[in-house]
Structure 1
């Protein structure tokens, strides 16, 4: 055994490297939580495509009414119920201003001696549907985003306090939640709209009254799970106040859950606003939202289907896009939720 050991070359027993500092250098750059989540979202093609589509819709909601030369509120009954007509595309035989009447194709623009182009047609009062669709999209998005923002603020604050305090405070706050959630949401909204004057702000307030309950419950559940973690106990030992624990430690760790729930709240608010306007207790004429446009088009759907189909397509695209983005963000912030 000793002879075989003596025959081994000395190079085998020399250290590979004497640079101890470089040996401990991390070759791969460190990833933050947000950057790691973005890398996961970027792999989700559905979420990325939906984000691009939503960006386009947001831009059109801002500038769309100004792209048309017609006032969305201007009425001209001589140009009522015109079908869509788009330059250049009309040469392909679609959106050419024609309409089937008794089985025969008729040029409505020629019959009414209309020289202008109305890209989405006009409604029963002669108002330009293109500008009204994007104006209605702007109003619906504004109501939904405002309601979701207020829901997030109230729900997060309520859930943080309830879960962090615990004990008798938590019991009282949860009983209040149970009482509010026991009342049907639609009844609360209808009562508020009867008390307040119908409008954007009254609809938003009515939606906020019960809309924050889901967020509060989710945040409370997460706080109950996190408040006994080691880093919270260490901060308490070092003398950190409760407000610092809530804002500096708990809230950042709840950001993923908050963003995910907010992304799913927005399409629900858009659909609920459209539902209220459709049944006639939402925005009132001549204000436009996707719900009011669908309600107007519903009355003449058999004869002028484009009045209802176009806003329906827009609201469906918005709802699907928000849900796909919400799924992508959920998978990115918490991959375990996919299982």
Structure 2
């Protein structure tokens, strides 16, 4: 035992030096709610990748038609149903951008050489010889427009309606909720068909249909959160200080509802994209010569066996949009949840 004690130096038994001046020092930086949320979003690799992909898609939706140098509605029947062909990639046999396609007999043919076409169509052409690269990005532009329009409608009508209904409560809340229950009971498809009977099929009829029924889900979510928040101490303190109802809603309730509003809006956008594509696929959407991703998929589905590129390319684009928006919404939901904070 004595030998063991002799091997341990006496310095090890001295108390650690503690600097009392640093006992109150905060090592972790002070962050606001939004700074903390953004830091947690950046840690979510799926949300970051989705944000980058969405940014690229939005940029291409507006610059793609300009890059090609072709109009989305220009027809050239002699160039119809051409497969994709891209400069620099045409000599790589394992990539589908060489202008080669398989005919009904199972033989590979160079359609560009047969039709004496000296131009390059990066996504090929459709049955009327229109450039699919331009039409796909023009269709993406229109689909995103309808999606963001649905988000704006949710933000304006749904948030205002839900916050007023939840804050005032009583008889006003009962009347407003009966109205929403009536609107929920009306299928959106019926509203769209009625709008098409009154108006022409297209963006206007879809916009009106979304305006009538699209905001109900957001209104009900905001109302439920408002009913919970209006009994909190900070709202009662604001009332005691004499602030008006409008100021309490705009300055206190809405900032605390921002997380719920953003998350529901992010889930609304892919639903609106799919809704527009579904309407276009069944013939209730946009009409020629205008295109959306739904109309392009509908046209490509008719010739899927002979010209699969006409359906596959817009289908891939709409799938990417749906996946990235949902992954970004999941990341924002985790980042804006107060229970997930460190």
TM-score (norm 2): 0.91
Which residue is 1:154 aligned to? 157
Shift of 1:70: 1.7
Which residue is 1:6 aligned to? none
CA RMSD of aligned residues (A): 1.7
Which residue is 1:91 aligned to? 91
Which residue is 1:35 aligned to? 35
Q: In 1, are the aligned partners of 2:192 and 2:205 still within 8 Å (CA)? A: no
Report which stretch shifted further, 169-178 or 22-31: 22-31
| Count of residues in Structure 1 that have an aligned counterpart in Structure 2 | 322
1:166 maps to which of 151, 163, 169? 169
CA offsets 1:167-203 (integer angstroms, 9 cap, x no match)? 1111111111111101111111211122122232331
Distance 1:59 1:16, change over 3 A: closer
TM-score (norm 1): 0.92
Which residue is 1:69 aligned to? 69
Which residue is 2:260 aligned to? 257
2:310 maps to which of 307, 311, 322? 307
1:116 maps to which of 119, 125, 128? 119
Q: In 1, are the aligned partners of 2:188 and 2:209 still within 8 Å (CA)? A: no
2:213 maps to which of 210, 213, 221? 210
Q: 2:244 matched to 1:241?
A: yes
**3-state SS of paired residue (1:244):** helix
Structure 1, unaligned runs of 5 or more = 1-11
Taking the aligned partners of 1:141 and 1:36, their CA distance within structure 2 comes to 29
**3-state SS of paired residue (2:91):** helix
Shift of 1:28: 3.0
Q: 2:188 matched to 1:185?
A: yes
Distance 1:132 1:16, change over 3 A: closer
Which residue is 1:100 aligned to? 102
**3-state SS of paired residue (1:99):** strand
Which residue is 1:4 aligned to? none
Which residue is 2:12 aligned to? none
2:139 maps to which of 116, 128, 136? 136
Q: In 2, are the aligned partners of 1:188 and 1:206 still within 8 Å (CA)? A: yes
Which residue is 2:5 aligned to? none
- Structure 1 stretches of 4+ moved >4 Å: 22-25, 335-338
